[in-house]
A and B are shown apart, each in its own frame.
Chain A
Amino acid sequence: MQSQCTIGNFGDDVRSDCRVTLEIRDNGGREIVIESKVKALFGKSIQKLTEDILDFYKIENAYLKIDDAGALDYVISARIEAAIKKCIDTKEEFLLDALPQNTNLTRRDQFRRARLYLPGNTPKLAINAGIHQPDGIILDLEDSVAPPKKYEARFVVRNSLRNVDFYGAERMVRINQLPMGLEDIELIVPHGVNLILLPKCEEASQIHDVVAKIHDVQKDKEKASNIWIMPIIESAKGVMNAYQIASASPQVVALAIGLEDYTADLGTQRTEEGKETYFARCMLVNAARAAGIQAIDSVYSDIDNMDGLNHFATEGKSLGFEGMGCIHPRQIPVINAAYAPEEKEIAKAKRIVKAFHEAEEKGLGVVALGSKMIDPPVVKRAQKTITLAIKSGLLAEDWRDHE
């Protein structure tokens, strides 16, 4: 344990965040110093929150300074808690009431077209992320967080899961590579995470480790079983083991591919044309489909090139991917448009769904289109296409009334 520490971020470009300096003292009471650009409006409430946290941890003698650039309460409390836990040994968590909408579960097969990466230790990017309506948000603890910040980032990510409204986006966390990722799981699993992304996944045993850890932390079996896992394949070995990984647990709902690291592993460069990654992408789609789960494509890193993004996403869809990662909110509408069903797909799906409803109304057990029998999986797929078409704004919700 340390007697003093500094946690958080403060500086010219930092907003919606704060830096907390804590020194535990033997006597002299509490000295709380708050420097905040919103002091005139929130000075008293920051003071009260700070006192409440110190009361909670029964710290009577300490110097605590907050340099604040408009951090919300959940960020301030994450920073203070992280600082305190550097200095005193405690397992107690200081938690603000979670938003009721942040306790929902998600479905195995829900749409995961655009998933927006958010650096876990940069709260300003999380607050408005949901308004851009990605299917998922990924609070990242891995590559976007520098090694000395890994510890404090977990507290911000945990509190973001509880207290930031992502307006219906699936709440995902990319943990660190194992074994460090297991420590991440310990902190985040009880707090409304829907899906865990496991980076640099190469073998099925890593999935077994993650699943075991989830069930170890979350004793409620139903809740634990509804936390999904999306391994990210980022190496030649991972590609070769993709099927084993995909089928390692019923909690694995998708396989994602990370092409930056994969091409580095091959010793080649990632190109716009993408010949060097074609094999891996096909392999991944095939492995995922063989295991009955979703295949998710890599991110496209040039955020100013929307034509390039559109090309990449369209190609991904044609290869069999069902979505991709994104690193900037402006990429979301482009990805959603690329992954939207095509007109003739929608037309076909409409015919099948109509046939299904007609069969149902007539009490028939078998769906037929003309002389052709339609299998249940085909109906299900058509229904999914219809839902996606509605979500993409290509079909009215009440389309059947207008047919």
Chain B
Amino acid sequence: MSKEVKNAVGRMIPEEINGKPVVPFMGVGKYRPTGRKAAPPIATCMDYPADGDKRVKDIKEALVKSGIKDGMTISTHHHFRNGDLVANQVFHAAHELGIKDLVWFPSASFPCHSELLPYLEDGTIHHIEGSMNGPLGKFTSQGKMRGTGVLRSHGGRYQAVQDGEVHIDIAFIAAPTADFFGNANAVTGPSACGLLGFALADSQYADRVVVVTDNLVPFPCTPWQIQGNYVDFVVEMDKVGIPEKIVSGTTQITRSPDRLYIAELTAKFCEAAGLIKDGFSFQAGAGGTALSIGIYFSEILKRKGMKGGFARGGSNKYLVQMLEEGLITHILDGQTFDLEGVRSMRENPTHVWTSPFTSYNYHGKGNFASMVDIVILGATEVDVNFNANVVTHSDGYLLHGIGGWQNCLFSKNVILPIPLFRDRIPVIRDEVTTICGPGELIDIIVTERGIAINPRRKDLIEATKDSGLPIKTIEELKEEAEAICGKAEMPTLGQKVVAAIKWVDGTVIDVVREVK
């Protein structure tokens, strides 16, 4: 076991993970990168068909022609969320070829990928660098994965590829529409799912890029969200994804009265604090409570006769409605959460597809995240210092990815609307199981039993002191939860590190330990 050092948020971090040296988290804005970006090898037209037809028979042939070897890194993407059909096919083919020790580098995994568990067991896949949801998270938590998982934010994934921390050998991009040259998009075709932003880094930096489509159109495929000039091979498949399944539990408006109450209270807070004004921008993450806040923002804007500026997606039908009613000027979209979002993106030039490069990359010449006025996010736990967790549950199990969560913390006002407890488990704790975001970036916690404002935000405390809203200290909220639920015991976790949590700059902010 590698030696461990304490990082800037007090967590013990191994000096090495998967045989590579680790930079421990040094604080927000403390780590300065040096050197030059990574780059794929120089290609030449001589190696590609002059007629532009890059089609090969199937995924297996694409793997072979890409020079698949043991130990390579293979990437896939989650534009179809739980409806992805390509990642599983890629590893079935690799398994048939007898390849071992692959690193799977998805932009996110979903329960539909639990089909890959046998390959983690038999060594086809060595470890996953990406989110580990549901059954894959459970498997990882139990210490069964051969390597150590690495979780990154969407922006952190782009940063890691760009900075050369992760070298992708072969990227597979599931495309709802493509031509034989490899130009591809996700706004058209029977499997349209919106956009392909998560695959941008992969197309630019991977050694080999394979586009997989179920809707091959004559050249040129426009718009080309992915440019064919980056693409080595094109594979046709019967079906690449089930677009209806991009709508999942985390992307639907909640019907729970308690969560709607929290959403409404959040909107009231924003209004009382003077955050809702002409031209204000916002982003609501996945999660039913966060998504429903848009409805309340709409009501407030209409009542006050105001208009917002841009909104960042995850777009859904409610955000689209705001755009179409003129309550916001643009949707800068990172992923579509329902088919209305796909339609709007296809039809409306002010519904813009973006990528982790434009929106989130910390090692770029700026990004959109810090320009957003209000961001609404979820969390599994928050501690009394406002540090928050989104990846593990209080029993230690790794069950969620980071998504764009860490990147969004750079917004001007970060609000976490969360229930005070879930099935007896208090959400506000003395210490979170895993630190994913430092408290200095988290401003407001809204629960059904009160609102806590980070003491650093004296401006917000002052602005809302006569609002009549139930403003409490975070300690008061914690005690209220304990009075109802009882004081939770600390679960005993093992020493073994099963996954690392990267910060947006590539340093390691925390690790996940084995659940015994």
Contacts and interface: CB of A to CB of B under 8 A. Distances in A.
Contact of B423 (A70, A132, A165, A328): A70
A70 B448 contact: no
A1 interface: no
Contacts of B425: 38, 41, 70
A390 interface: no
A132 B257 contact: yes
Interface stretch (A42-50, A195-203, A206-214, A265-273): A42-50
Interface string A116-134: 0000000000011001100
Contacts of A131: 258, 261, 448-449
Nearest to A329: B257
Interface stretch (B90-98, B400-408, B485-493): B485-493
Given A15-B423, A70-B423, A72-B424, A41 B488 contact: yes
Contacts of B448: 128, 131
A330 B424 contact: no
A348 interface: no
B158 to A, nearest CB: 35
B396 to A, nearest CB: 7
B406 to A, nearest CB: 26
B246 interface: no
Interface string B11-32: 0000000000000000000000
Interface in B455-483: none
A357 B351 CA distance: 61
A127 B484 contact: yes
Interface in A35-61: 37-45
Nearest to B426: A41
Interface in A307-344: 328-330
B261 A329 contact: yes
Contact of A43 (B422, B449, B484, B489): B489
Contacts of A43: 489
A132 B264 CA distance: 12
B325 interface: no
A330 B489 contact: no
B261 A38 contact: no
Q: How large is the interface on B (under 10, 10 to 19, 20 to 34, 35 or more residues)?
A: 10 to 19
A71 B489 contact: no
B380 to A, nearest CB: 13
Contacts of B449: 131
A40 B261 contact: no
A353 interface: no
A330 B423 contact: no
Given A16-B423, A127-B484, A40 B257 contact: no
A52 to B, nearest CB: 14
Interface in B249-306: 257-258, 260-261
Contacts of B424: 16, 38, 41-42, 70-72
B484 A72 contact: yes
A40 B423 contact: no
A69 interface: yes
Most buried by A among B422, B486, B491: B486
Given A16-B424, A72-B484, A127-B484, A40 B394 contact: yes
A73 interface: yes
Nearest to A131: B448
A100 B422 CA distance: 25
Nearest to B515: A40
B423 A128 contact: no
Contacts of A39: 395
Contacts of A37: 423
A362 to B, nearest CB: 35
A131, A132, A330 interface centre (most CB from chain B within 10 Å): A131
Interface string B398-431: 0000000000000000000000001111000000
Given A38-B424, A70-B424, A72-B424, A328 B488 contact: no
Contacts of A73: 486
A303 B489 CA distance: 40
Contact of A41 (B257, B261, B489): B489
Contacts of B485: 42, 72
B516 to A, nearest CB: 10
Contacts of A72: 424, 484-486
B257 to A, nearest CB: 4
Contacts of B395: 38-41
Interface in B329-348: none
Nearest to B450: A131
Contacts of A328: 257
Nearest to A70: B423
Interface in A90-134: 127-128, 131-132
Nearest to A75: B424
Nearest to A73: B486
Interface in A54-84: 69-73
A254 B423 CA distance: 36
A131 B201 CA distance: 46
B394 A41 contact: yes
Contacts of A42: 424, 485-486, 488-489
B394 A330 contact: no
A44 B489 contact: yes
A40 B489 contact: yes
A123 to B, nearest CB: 11
A390 to B, nearest CB: 13
B486 A40 contact: no
A41 B491 contact: yes
B424 to A, nearest CB: 4
Interface string A8-45: 00000001100000000000000000000111111111
Nearest to B419: A128
A127 B395 CA distance: 23
A26 to B, nearest CB: 34
A351 to B, nearest CB: 27
Contacts of B257: 132, 328-330
A38 B423 contact: yes
B486 A45 contact: yes
Contacts of B394: 40-41
B188 to A, nearest CB: 35
A53 to B, nearest CB: 15
Nearest to A304: B255
Choose among B260, B424, B448, B486 the residue with the greatest number of A CB atoms under 10 Å from its CB: B424
A128 B489 CA distance: 23
The 10 A-B pairs of least Cβ separation, nearest first, read: A70-B423, A40-B395, A40-B491, A329-B257, A70-B424, A41-B488, A128-B258, A131-B448, A38-B424, A15-B423
16 contacts: A15-B423, A16-B424, A38-B395, A40-B394, A42-B488, A43-B489, A70-B424, A70-B425, A72-B424, A72-B484, A72-B485, A128-B448, A131-B258, A131-B261, A165-B484, A329-B261
Interface of B: 257-258, 260-261, 394-396, 422-425, 448-449, 484-486, 488-489, 491
Given A40-B394, A329-B257, 5 more contacts: A37-B423, A42-B424, A43-B489, A132-B261, A329-B261
